[in-house]
Each structure stands twice: as C-alpha cells, then as structure tokens.
C-alpha cells in the first residue's frame, strides 16, 4: 500500500538534522547571574550530548564522500521550490537549502541543540531568549549570516507566512531585537507557552536580506528557484515535473564542524519524478534511480523478483523504525452536513475491513492505526486514568464532553471477520444510520429529508484503487451511494485545499513531545484554512485539551494531557484509521552503506548513508561525473 507523502508546512518547516557545537566567549550580558547559558535545551530533562561532544553516536566518522543518492517520486509533479506556501506544488526536498538555529537529533528527538548558534541564554522565567550565532555561518555564496538577516526573515514570516502558522505564532513573540552583529534577542508575550519559547527562537531559517531585497520574491508565492540558504546542498540541474538534483556546496560553511562528521556524504542527491507508481517501479529495476523506500505492500511482496535481486546487485531489507506511527486515515469533511452526526461517521467507519484488507491485500505487513500516538506510551488505553479524569471531568461538567468518556473504554477501530463484508458490522452500521434518520428506500439507497446518503473518496493514486473499491462495495451494501473519484494530482490538491470533497486520505503526524502544532492539526482557529486540519475540526473541548498539553510543565502532566486529548479525538470519529508498519522496507543497489545500528528515529539514507565507489565499480556503475 502507498503512504501519503506531504511536505510539512508547520512550525518546523525548513529544519534539518544538522548539528554543531561550540563555546561562546561571552559578553557583559552573559555575566548576569540570572541568565542560563547553554548549548542545548530540553524542557523536561537532560540532553544526551554535552557541549564538547565530537560527533553523533549513530554516524560513521570515516564515511567516504562522493557519488550520488538517487530516489523517486510519483505522487505529483512540481512547479515551485517554495515549501513555505500552499500556492503551487513545491518540489520534493525544497527545504534542503535551509537550516534552523537549533535542531533535534535522530536519537534525542525532544531536545534542541545549537546549530547555527554557539549558545543561547535565557532567564529562569524564559521571558526572553538570546541567540549567539556562530560567526562562521555563511550563505551558499560565502556571504556571512548576521543577526540582521534573522530580523529580516522573522519580519517576512510574520507578514507573509501561512495563515495556519500565523494563527499559532501571532501574539507570542513581542519583538526581535538585534544586540550585535551575531547576537539577537527574542522577547515573548505572556501568551507564549513556556515549553515552546526556545523552540520559537529557533524556527526561522535565515534568508539573505541583501539577496531577497534585490529580487521580487514573496514568501507567499511560488519560487522558480530557491533563495540562498546555509545548507550543505544547493539546487543543481532540474526539469520541471521530471527531475531535480541537489549538489553539495563546495563552500559549505559547516563541512568541517565536528558534528557534521559522517554526514552530508553524497556529492549529489537526485529525485526522478514518474507519472504513476508502475512506471516508478520499472524505473528502479532499470537503474534510473537506485534507492527505493517501498511503501506498497503489494509491490514489496510480489515485485522484487527481478534479476538484480536474484544476483545480489539489488539488496532488499527491512530496517528497524522506532518512529511514532503516522495516524494515516480516511478523514471526513466535517463541513458537510451529512457528516456532522457522529452516528453517521461511526457507521461509515464500520464498513472498512482492515483485517480482510491486511490479509488479502497487504500480505499481513501492516498493523492497524488505533491512536493518534500509535506505537508509543502516549496512546490512550482502556478506561481513563485518574490523571485523565482530572482533565476530562471539567469538560463533562461544562457539557462539552459526554459523561460516558469518563467510564467507557477508549474508542478503538472496529475489528472485522476474514470476509470482506463483516455482517455484524453491517448490522450495527444499519442501526446507527436508522437512528440518525438515514432510512433505506425501496431501491436500497438511504435517504434523509429526500437526500441520498452519498460518499465519494477523492484520490489521485491508482495504488489506492484496490483498497478503496472493496470499501466502496461494503458501503453500497449498507445503502450508501459510494464511489471512488480518482483525479489527477493537481485536481486532488486543489479540491482538497478548497474543501470540495467527502473523504480523502490524510497523514496525521504527531510528535513525542506535542505542543502548539496541535492547534494546526486539530484547533478551531485553523479549521477554515489549514493543510493539516483538513477535516475542519472545530470543537471547544478539543481546544481546551490542546491547551492542557501546551501548558504541561512535567512529563506526568504531559502524558496525562496527551492521553486525554487522544481519547477525546478518537471519540469524535472524524477519521477511519488506516495502517502502519514498524519497519522501513527498502530496496537499493549494492552501492550504498549505512552505520549500524541505525538511530531509532531516522532512516537517514540522504543524511548519514554513503556511496561505496568500489561496490559501484564492481556493478559497472560510474557516478563520479554529474549526470
């Protein structure tokens, strides 16, 4: 089965897993006894790496440099290199040129480490954060990065940033003040959550003020080419809608920084675009590209019997993946009146038979998504804990939640028999629709007030046909006028953005330390214009529970708040959970290698894998020259 790939547009857009460390000589402000100065920050506890760490534990410090990493994409085409707007269709890897002030690592994902900075300083109340930039950071043309560039970038995002971004960030940063050429200060308003303040001080990837002002760019418009960034790679050759290449910048400022050791190993990273998944796979077999992260269970189980696999020139591996599972789901468009009754949503969800799909279509490779935090300790289970009840009870008392949430088991996706149509679920779904007033007529179709209950699945990927069509058949047996409406990628994108759909597949990606990005996914303030809250969820109880998560100041409080939110979200039933797998299923030509063991939270094939020239020569592959 194919997963949905979407370019992130949230608070972390443009972030890279690139790390450095350093010390700072200090200024008069640093002598203030009330200021804390540090190379890294974690609100809840210690960070893994000390200030003088030499490299990440999971990289190979002796990894050779050179060669090309080549991959593919078939979900859509591209006509822009701007990942910070929904206008146009941004190319894969459009965030590559940009780096953040502080970043997380693949083995310490809830901590932030200084990268473009040497240290940060802040008082105990976190009313402000001072950023001390590294003095050797440069843009791709070698021009220095200064505090003035950050001030310019901050003002640009606050003026032209995405509405869903501004809906969360507006009113939280009072000012950005330049304190020196490489030193600036964020002052926060009282509304800014304490736990997010250091993160807010690190989210803006710097643009060159001089370059930008000499151009006619806007942040909220498409870009023919990206502006300069500070990253290890710059855009090379590209052909709109067909392919693109990023090449390593020979003047990259951070090439010799100790914690870039073992990273950024490829001379080139190339992406080939294909019109459909079948052509994409054939391209891999033919060597048009040489690394494939396989998301289709059908292809993984049946398509890797070609000569390259047989003779060992192509390797096929299942590598461990400890990441939080994406809550990939069919979601309902809550703008539609017919979906505003939870009984209707529950009835329609009952007709998706995951067990039959997994056995018949997925070759048993998947597990069911059950929570928005599946595969983690943050998922709600059983009946509410005492800590959850303390958060849920006031919302029940105010009439915002049904009292049953305090005693009932957490909502789980319906289980089904081995037959495509589970008759028990069909009976239960029929009862629910009858209760909701959708009654079957003499033609078998369900109507309410003269309107037929219809459901159209909007989808652009042919890979979903074999999953959606049985679901459609089951819905028809229920008396629903169901259909699969397959369109091209551009139509799907436009209609999804405009709200012109009944059900679509959505990848809902949470984090292990969730905070304000929850507003972008589930908050009422983003319901009208969001690439994340596509279902247009507006619920005051959910807003209150998100606030509890954001305000949590210790791990126990956070865990209880997330579980309570998870429980309430699942009770709404705005989604029909799909599936996930706990391993990376990858195939690649035997010209790449990776450090063992891999870190728990990243596959890292473009980051800390490397090209083996001797193996490539043995296969007759020469990628020493740019294609």
Per-residue model confidence as pLDDT tens digits over 420-466: 999 999 999 999 999 999 999 999 999 999 999 999 999 998 889 99
Q: Which are the contacts of 285, defined by CB distance < 8 A and separation ≥ 6? A: 306, 308
The answer to whether residue 70 scores a pLDDT higher than 50 is: yes
For residues 38-59, average pLDDT: 95
Contact 229, 205 (CB under 8 A): yes
The answer to whether residue 26 scores a pLDDT higher than 60 is: no
Q: How confident is the model at residue 86 (pLDDT cuts 50, 70, 90)?
A: confident
**Res 7: pLDDT:** 26
For residues 541-562, average pLDDT: 97
The answer to whether residue 28 scores a pLDDT higher than 50 is: no
Q: How confident is the model at residue 74 (pLDDT cuts 50, 70, 90)?
A: confident
Distance CA(614)–CA(501), nearest Å, equals 52
DSSP-derived secondary structure for 288-328: SS-EEE---HHHHHHS--SHHHHTTSEEEEEEE--SPPP--
- CA 608 to each of CA 47, 57, 246, 263, 264: distance values in angstroms, whole numbers, following the listed order: 21, 11, 16, 5, 6
Distance CA(569)–CA(534), nearest Å, equals 15
22-31, 171-180, 379-388, 486-495 — which is least confidently predicted?
22-31
Q: Which of 33, 22, 227 is nearest to 131 (CA)?
A: 22
Q: How confident is the model at residue 624 (pLDDT cuts 50, 70, 90)?
A: low
Distance CA(327)–CA(509), nearest Å, equals 6
Distance from chain centroid for Cα 316? 25
Q: How confident is the model at residue 88 (pLDDT cuts 50, 70, 90)?
A: confident
For residues 464-492, average pLDDT: 96
Q: How confident is the model at residue 490 (pLDDT cuts 50, 70, 90)?
A: confident
**Res 6: pLDDT:** 28
For residues 139-149, average pLDDT: 98
Q: Three-state secondary structure along 335-392?
A: CCHHHCCHHHHHHHHHCCCHHHHHHHCCCCCCEECCCCCCCCCCCCCCCCCHHHHHHH
User: Mean of the per-residue pLDDT values for the chain?
Assistant: 92
The answer to whether residue 1 scores a pLDDT higher than 70 is: no
**Res 622: pLDDT:** 83
Exposed, middle or buried: residue 502 (CB in 10 Å: 0-12, 13-18, 19+)? buried
Distance CA(586)–CA(597), nearest Å, equals 16
Q: How confident is the model at residue 33 (pLDDT cuts 50, 70, 90)?
A: low
Q: Provide the whole-model pTM.
A: 0.89
Tokens of 427: 């009976």
Q: pLDDT by residue (tens digit) across 379-420?
A: 999 999 999 999 999 999 999 999 999 999 999 999 999 899
For residues 169-187, average pLDDT: 96
CATH architecture of 329-580: Roll (3.10)
Residue 120's H or E segment, with its range, is: strand 117-123
**Res 27: pLDDT:** 33
Selected residue with higher pLDDT from 29 and 222 = 222
Report percent pLDDT > 70 for the chain: 94
SS3 content of the chain, % helix, strand, coil (to 5): 30, 20, 50
Long-range contact set of residues 150-153: C-beta below 8 Å, sequence gap at least 24: 150/101, 150/176, 150/184, 150/204, 150/206, 151/176, 151/178, 151/184, 152/207, 152/209, 152/212, 153/204, 153/205, 153/206, 153/207, 153/209
For residues 138-151, average pLDDT: 98
């Amino acid at each position: 089965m194919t997963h949905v790939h979407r370019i992130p547009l949230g608070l972390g857009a443009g972030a890279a897993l690139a790390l450095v460390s350093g010390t700072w000589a200090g200024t008069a402000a640093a002598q203030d006894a009330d200021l804390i100065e540090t190379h890294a920050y974690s609100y809840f506890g210690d960070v893994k790496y000390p200030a003088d760490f030499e490299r990440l534990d999971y990289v190979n410090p002796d990894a050779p440099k050179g060669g090309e990493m080549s991959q593919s994409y078939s979900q859509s085409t591209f006509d822009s290199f701007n990942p910070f707007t929904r206008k146009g269709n941004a190319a894969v890897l459009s965030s590559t040129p940009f780096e953040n002030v502080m970043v997380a690592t693949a083995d310490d994902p809830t901590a932030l480490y200084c990268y473009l900075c040497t240290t940060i300083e802040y008082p105990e109340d976190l009313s402000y954060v001072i950023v001390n930039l590294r003095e050797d950071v440069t843009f791709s043309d070698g021009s220095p990065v200064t505090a003035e560039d950050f001030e310019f970038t901050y003002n640009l995002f606050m003026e032209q940033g995405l509405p869903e971004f501004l809906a969360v960030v507006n009113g939280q940063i009072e000012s950005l003040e330049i304190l020196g050429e490489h030193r600036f200060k964020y002052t926060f308003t009282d509304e800014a959550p304490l736990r997010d303040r250091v993160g807010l001080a690190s989210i803006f990837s710097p643009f060159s003020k001089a370059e930008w002002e000499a151009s006619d760019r806007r942040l909220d418009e498409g870009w023919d080419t990206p502006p300069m960034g500070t990253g290890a790679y710059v855009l090379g050759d590209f052909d709109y809608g067909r392919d693109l290449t990023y090449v390593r910048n020979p003047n990259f400022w951070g090439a010799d920084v100790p914690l870039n050791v073992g990273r950024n190993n490829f001379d080139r990273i190339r992406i080939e675009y294909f019109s459909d998944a079948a052509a994409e796979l054939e391209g891999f077999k033919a060597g048009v590209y040489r690394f494939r992260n396989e998301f289709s269970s059908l292809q993984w189980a049946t398509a890797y019997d070609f000569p390259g696999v047989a003779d060992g020139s192509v390797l096929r591996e299942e590598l461990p993946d400890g990441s939080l599972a994406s809550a990939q789901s069919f979601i309902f468009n809550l703008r539609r009146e017919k979906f505003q009754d939870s009984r209707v949503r529950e009835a329609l969800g009952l007709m998706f038979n995951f067990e039959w799909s997994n056995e018949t279509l997925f070759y048993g490779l998947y597990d069911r998504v059950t929570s928005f935090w599946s595969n983690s300790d943050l998922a709600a289970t059983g009946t509410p804990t005492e800590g959850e009840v303390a958060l849920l009870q006031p919302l029940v008392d105010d009439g915002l939640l049904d009292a049953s949430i305090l005693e009932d088991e957490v909502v789980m996706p319906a289980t089904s028999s081995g037959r495509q149509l589970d008759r028990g679920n069909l009976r239960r779904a029929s009862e629910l629709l009858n209760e909701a007033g959708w009654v079957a007529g003499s033609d078998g179709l369900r109507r309410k007030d003269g309107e037929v209950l219809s459901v159209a699945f909007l989808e652009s990927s042919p890979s979903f046909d074999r999953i959606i069509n049985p679901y459609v058949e089951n819905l028809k047996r229920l008396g629903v006028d169901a259909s699969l409406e397959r369109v091209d990628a551009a139509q799907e994108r436009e209609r999804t953005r405009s709200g012109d759909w009944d059900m679509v597949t959505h990848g809902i990606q949470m984090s292990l330390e969730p905070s304000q990005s929850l507003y972008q996914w589930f908050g009422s303030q983003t319901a009208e214009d969001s690439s994340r809250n596509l279902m247009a969820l507006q619920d005051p109880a959910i807003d209150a529970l998100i606030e509890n998560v954001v305000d949590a100041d210790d791990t126990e409080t956070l865990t209880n708040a997330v579980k309570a939110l998870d429980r309430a979200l699942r009770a709404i039933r705005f989604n029909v959970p799909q599936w996930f797998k706990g391993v990376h299923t990858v195939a690649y030509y035997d010209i790449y290698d990776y450090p063992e063991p891999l870190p728990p939270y990243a596959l890292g094939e473009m980051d800390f894998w490397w090209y083996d020239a001797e193996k490539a020569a043995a296969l007759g592959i020469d990628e020493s020259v740019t294609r």
